[in-house]
Amino acid sequence: MKKFVAEFFGTFWLVLGGCGSAVLASSFPEVGIGLLGVSFAFGLTVLTIAYGLGHISGAHLNPAVTVGLWSAGRFEAGNILGYVASQILGAIMAAVILYLIATGNGSEIGSFAANGYGEHSPGGYSMIAALVCEFVMTFMFLMVIIGATDERAPAGFAGIAIGLCLTLIHLISIPVTNTSVNPARSISQAIFVGDWAIAQLWLFIIVPIAGAFTAGLVYKAFFTKE
């Protein structure tokens, strides 16, 4: 239960910090943090929770990460459902808090940092571009996570590597999809936007999980200590 609660609060922090920065601060008049700031915000949420709660649950904060670690032989199948449920609930709670804050000045929520492709992609990128981007970004994210937490990696630095990796992923892919690589983060925002966000949500659930699953298999096949 402690692990599930840690995943709930960890994912809550990820969505509140990352999506919150995009919704509230990215385009604030004259001093908005922009794409660079949002990218660092996502990375900082992972970095801080990795050191704050990682010793309790491993700080997955993401159903795709949980599946990827399982496919790499690093996580028990029996805990997948509990982790994923905790992550989704934590993300939704963060979205509730963010909605209450974002509408506090009478504003509409707009896209609410939801993920999308086609006309709902920040840069107008196609569904195929979004699919390729989300798969590759999640694949590489898991390669870094699994490698940084390998017993052969330098101890104590995994949180930094993982946080900076997520920052880099956002720097690359925000223009394409608003960056998901995390089904829980996508679900939480889509619930409030509805309409197109729900219709396109399938891609941001299936593709990150597929990318993570593949990365776990690749790492296990080629890089696991013999």
- CB atoms inside a 10 Å sphere around CB 180: 29
Q: What is the pLDDT of residues 54-73, one digit of tens each?
A: 999 999 999 999 999 999 99
Tracing tokens 């608003």 back to the chain, one arrives at 178
CATH of 1-223, one of 1.10.150.20, 1.10.10.10, 1.20.1080.10, 3.90.190.20: 1.20.1080.10
Query: Cα separations (Å) of 180 from 21, 54, 155, 196, 225?
Result: 15, 21, 28, 16, 31
pTM of the model: 0.95
Q: What is the pLDDT of residues 162-218, one digit of tens each?
A: 999 999 999 999 999 999 999 999 999 999 999 999 999 999 999 999 999 999 999
Q: Dmax of the chain from CA atoms?
A: 59
Tokens (6 digits) for 175: 């223009």
Query: Cα separations (Å) of 226 from 146, 157, 222?
Result: 16, 23, 10
Nearest to 11 by CA among 79, 77, 115, 95: 95
Q: What is the pLDDT of residues 91-147, one digit of tens each?
A: 999 999 999 999 998 888 889 999 999 999 999 999 999 999 999 999 999 999 999
